[in-house]
């Protein structure tokens, strides 16, 4: 809030007649608060929210489609990953202001050296056998494992298409999951991996950049690192995580003059100077969406570089049945000892019936 207040004062120095009323709402209360405010006709002109909310907010009529605004000027200065988080078909759902996503955290005390390859990560993790710690508790939930296909040279999920398990991608992806399961206990959509890492009982953790402050508070900043994604030696390609963001949304139904002012302020927040201010650890500590080069240091720089190699999380996720099929295939090879060939055949048969 402090960094945002400073930017507001800077904006007001050129627009002295403009006033702002700021309100902070805890993340777990934000969606309900926005819906209640909208029902009462009190929705703010601008509000921050996760990128995955955009399609539903537009469908509900809470936010304005910005496709009639001079978006090319903004698109030209924004990182393509961040820009993907405001685009749904022909709609522009908002403006991106912050990058977020999954990265590979490391406890420097337990694992002093980064793992350059997937095979190296597995072998380093197996070195924890006979100790109270593990190399990595691996969560094989859909949103974690799908972008791993990057290490096989492709993307498992493309917008509007079924999962691409044909050709070499499917067997490579399942073989990779099978190999990674040797790094430590495998779970599905739990917090067991996070709890083990926060308690100092795991060397690595795949988790969101949003968890950095909590992890640093548990372990201490000096122990915490974010590593480059390990490379799959078979392909020469790295693992990757999903990337999403925080967007600035425009209330639907604003008067033209109010919309013009909101656009002016929002694009001011996207300037290189504003993004630098917001990305400073003594400011908001945001990971910038501006396409320029930012001298981020320490773990902020490590997170930022990891995200730049990530995979954009689809704003229109596939049906729940598809996620379940992919998780069943992952469970088969990683937990149940099923061969890659059999697990792949079952998954293709199930996908054909969706």
For residues 299 and 319, membership in a common domain is answered with no
For residues 36 and 55, membership in a common domain is answered with yes
For residues 298 and 165, membership in a common domain is answered with no
Number of domains observed in the structure of the chain: 2
For residues 129 and 234, membership in a common domain is answered with yes
For residues 293 and 329, membership in a common domain is answered with no
Give the CATH number of the domain where residue 322 resides.
Answer: 3.40.190.10
In angstroms, rounded to a whole number, what is the distance separating the alpha carbons of residues 243 and 27?
19
**pLDDT tens digits, the chain, 354 residues: what are they?**
788 889 999 999 988 888 898 888 998 999 999 999 999 999 999 999 999 999 999 999 999 999 999 999 999 999 999 999 999 999 999 999 999 999 999 999 999 999 999 999 999 999 998 899 999 999 999 999 999 999 999 999 887 778 989 899 999 999 999 999 999 999 999 999 999 999 999 999 999 999 999 999 999 999 999 999 999 999 999 999 999 999 999 999 999 999 999 999 999 999 999 998 888 776 567 899 999 877 788 899 999 999 999 999 999 888 899 999 999 999 999 999 999 999 999 999 999 988
Give me the domain span that covers residue 45: 2-99+243-312
Q: pTM for the complete prediction?
A: 0.94
For residues 12 and 106, membership in a common domain is answered with no
């Amino acid at each position: 809030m402090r960094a945002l207040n400073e930017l507001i004062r800077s904006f007001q120095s050129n627009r002295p007649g403009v006033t702002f009323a700021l309100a902070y709402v805890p993340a777990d209360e934000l969606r309900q608060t926005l819906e209640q405010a909208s029902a009462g006709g009190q929705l703010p002109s601008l509000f921050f929210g996760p990128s995955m909310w955009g399609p539903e907010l537009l469908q509900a009529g809470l936010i304005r489609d910005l496709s009639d605004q001079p978006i090319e000027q903004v698109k030209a200065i924004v990182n393509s990953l961040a820009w993907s988080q405001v685009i749904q078909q022909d709609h522009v759902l908002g403006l991106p202001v912050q990058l977020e996503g999954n990265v590979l955290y490391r406890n420097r005390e337990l694992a002093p050296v980064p793992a350059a390859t997937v095979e190296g990560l597995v072998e380093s993790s197996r070195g924890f056998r006979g100790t109270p710690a593990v190399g990595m508790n691996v969560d094989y939930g859909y949103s974690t494992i799908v972008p791993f296909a990057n290490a096989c040279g492709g993307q498992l999920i493309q917008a509007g298409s079924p999962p691409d398990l044909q050709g070499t991608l499917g067997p490579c992806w399942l073989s990779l999951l099978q190999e990674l399961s040797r790094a430590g206990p495998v779970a599905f959509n739990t917090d067991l991996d996070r709890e083990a890492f926060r308690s100092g009982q795991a060397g690595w953790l795949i988790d969101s950049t949003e968890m950095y402050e909590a992890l640093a508070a548990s372990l201490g900043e000096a122990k915490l690192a974010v590593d480059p994604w390990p490379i799959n030696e078979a392909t020469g390609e790295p693992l990757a995580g999903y990337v999403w963001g925080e967007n600035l949304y425009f209330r639907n139904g604003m008067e033209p003059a109010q919309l013009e002012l909101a656009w002016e302020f929002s694009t001011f927040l996207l300037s290189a100077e504003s993004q630098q201010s917001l990305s400073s650890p003594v400011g908001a500590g945001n990971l910038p969406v501006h396409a320029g080069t930012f001298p981020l240091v320490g773990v902020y720089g490590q997170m930022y570089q990891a995200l730049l190699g990530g995979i954009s999380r689809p704003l229109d996720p596939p049906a729940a049945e598809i996620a379940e099929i992919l998780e069943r295939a992952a469970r088969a090879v990683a937990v149940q000892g099923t061969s890659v060939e059999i697990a792949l055949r079952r998954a293709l048969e199930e996908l054909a019936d969706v």
